[in-house]
């Protein structure tokens, strides 16, 4: 009865989980290293392991990083800036310039509302925000409020039209320009694609140019590890079927939201050896302390998702895959058609991404109507993107024109892999499009007065 590929995939997934769990390395007497360490440390590794196990049992989690290893605003999210807009959905942070001249067109980073925005402003050495500011761009970022029960009825329409759109409007007003560059990471990119299609669907004047600055605040856009075609959503697909969707829906109806910790646990099951069993072995069997990792700390700093928004997103995007179909999805009273998006696109995928498979992220280039440049970075969903230029270069990437292309393998076959970080290629691409340089704008303006120093209030709310 396993004829259907989805069922086969699920059976293979859970078989793999079981095989990973019973691996000999995960148990004290069959792990060659654990007894040796116990003898060498006169039993202290066992005592430390027991204490680590008790700590994790109390937290109902296999910890990957100490909860006090970092502090937001002290070690992470430290790029100076000001909150210049706050509403019930988000804070918008405008970063202080570090160059005497900046490009006229600002870069607005739309963070996903799963996890917190500071994946793009981690430690100073790997902060994308700090890098962009250093390249002479005015940078804004959305910091989403961590919703509770009060937000249960908040919809995806709200996130787009009362969240992303006001952020773009504020950035263009503060910088005194008709249009901005918008960048979306993961779900932030999916949101941007929807919003651009929504803006292009304003058919009040059919003759109007759909990229007209008066009607459209976005001149060009970038996406990082972004899906719009969910026909193959990667390994996360094993968790998503009608039955699990119904279970989640009932649970969200009771709680008013989906707890991010539940999602984080599901994502960890996609890579159990490196994200679960590694910590079981090192924490409990070897009695080691948890190493401080800024990425893992961010990964554990989860957020909730409002019931109405998340139910719609799972049903219409993941289960029904409506966004990739012309006129398949309706948002804010308008039918969305990705083909009506004409703005130039810079899209980035990651070769080992198990959350947004790169071949699926590539499909965005063929589904939208404008010119596109695609980057395939090595590594995964996070490290493929948080990829600062270093000497000697650690990573490599493929990059080339992907306008109207449908086949990712054909595209990759015709391109040389280059060494280094794609950040530099992106900064050049942005530099060609983000206008002349001039004195930097002050933080905020009369309409959007600075409210609070970065990283703001919302990011600190648990």
* DSSP one-letter string for 140-175: EEEEE----GGGTT--HHHIIIIIIHHHHHHHHHHH
Which among 186, 300, 365, 434 is annotated as catalytic? Answer: 186
Phi–psi pair at 63, nearest 5 degrees: -70, 145
CB 458 within 8 A of CB 145: yes
Three-class SS of residue 404? coil
Q: Do 100 and 114 contact (CB within 8 A), yes or no?
A: no
Pairing of strands 90-95, 102-103: unpaired
Rounded to whole angstroms, the Cα distance separating 25 from 407 reads 41
Strand partners, 348: 224, 375
In angstroms, the CA 187 to CA 423 distance is 20
Nearest to 350 by CA among 401, 387, 323, 303: 387
Q: What angle do CA 186, 193, 102 make, to 5 degrees?
A: 80
Do 201 and 328 contact (CB within 8 A), yes or no?
no
Give the C-alpha separation, 415 to 401, whole Å: 10
Torsion angle, alpha carbons of 246, 248, 253, 257, to 10: -160
198 in Cβ contact with 160 (< 8 Å)? yes
β-strand pairing of 107-110 with 180-185: parallel
Alpha carbon distance 436, 101 (integer Å)? 9
What is the tally of helices (H) and strands (E) in the chain? 16, 17
Looking at residue 326, the DSSP 8-state letter turns out to be T
Instruction: Select from 267, 404, 299 the least CA-distant residue to 347.
Output: 404
Verify whether residue 186 is a known catalytic residue: yes
**Cβ–Cβ < 8 Å for 191, 221:** no
- The pair phi, psi for residue 359, each rounded to 5°, is -65, -30
Inter-residue contact 107 to 139 (CB < 8 Å): yes
Catalytic annotation, residues: 186
């Amino acid at each position: 009865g396993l004829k259907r590929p989805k069922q086969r995939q699920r059976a293979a997934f859970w078989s793999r989980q079981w095989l990973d769990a019973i691996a000999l390395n995960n148990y004290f007497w069959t792990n060659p290293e654990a007894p040796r360490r116990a003898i060498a440390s006169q039993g202290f590794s066992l005592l430390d392991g027991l204490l680590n196990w008790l700590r994790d049992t109390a937290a109902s989690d296999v910890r990957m990083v100490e909860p006090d290893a970092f502090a937001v605003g002290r070690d992470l999210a430290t790029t100076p800036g000001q909150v210049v807009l706050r509403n019930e959905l988000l804070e918008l942070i405008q970063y202080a310039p570090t160059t005497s001249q900046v490009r006229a067109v600002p870069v607005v980073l739309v963070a996903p509302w799963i996890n917190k925005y500071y994946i793009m402003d981690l430690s100073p050495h790997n902060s994308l925000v700090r890098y962009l500011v250093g390249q002479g761009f005015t940078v804004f970022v959305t910091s989403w409020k961590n919703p509770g029960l009060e937000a249960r009825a908040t919809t995806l329409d709200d996130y787009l039209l009362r969240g992303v759109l006001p952020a773009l409007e504020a950035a263009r007003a503060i910088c005194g320009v008709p249009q901005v560059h918008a960048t979306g990471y993961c779900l932030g990119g999916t949101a941007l694609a929807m919003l651009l299609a929504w803006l292009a669907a304003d058919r009040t004047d059919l003759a109007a140019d759909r990229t007209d600055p008066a009607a459209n605040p976005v001149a060009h856009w970038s996406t990082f590890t972004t899906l719009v075609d969910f026909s193959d959503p990667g390994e996360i697909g094993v968790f998503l079927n009608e039955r699990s969707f119904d279970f989640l829906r009932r649970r969200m109806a009771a709680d008013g939201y989906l707890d991010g910790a539940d999602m984080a646990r599901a994502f960890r099951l996609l890579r159990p050896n490196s994200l679960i069993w590694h910590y079981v072995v090192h924490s409990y069997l070897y009695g080691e302390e948890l190493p401080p990792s800024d990425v893992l700390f961010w990964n554990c700093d989860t957020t909730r998702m409002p019931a109405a928004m998340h139910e719609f997103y799972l049903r219409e995007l993941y289960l029904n895959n409506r966004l990739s179909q012309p006129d398949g999805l309706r948002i804010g009273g308008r039918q969305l058609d990705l083909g009506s998006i004409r703005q130039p696109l810079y899209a980035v995928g990651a070769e080992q991404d198990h959350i947004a498979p790169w071949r699926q992220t590539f499909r965005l280039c063929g589904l939208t109507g404008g010119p596109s440049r695609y980057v395939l970075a090595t590594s995964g969903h996070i490290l493929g993107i948080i990829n600062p230029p270093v000497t000697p270069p650690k990573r490599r990437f493929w990059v080339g024109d992907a306008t109207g292309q449908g086949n990712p393998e054909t595209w990759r076959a015709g391109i040389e892999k280059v060494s280094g970080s794609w950040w530099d290629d992106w900064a050049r691409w942005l530099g060609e499009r983000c206008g002349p340089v001039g004195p930097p704008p002050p933080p905020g303006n009369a309409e959007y007065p600075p409210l609070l120093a970065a990283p703001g209030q919302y990011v600190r709310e648990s």
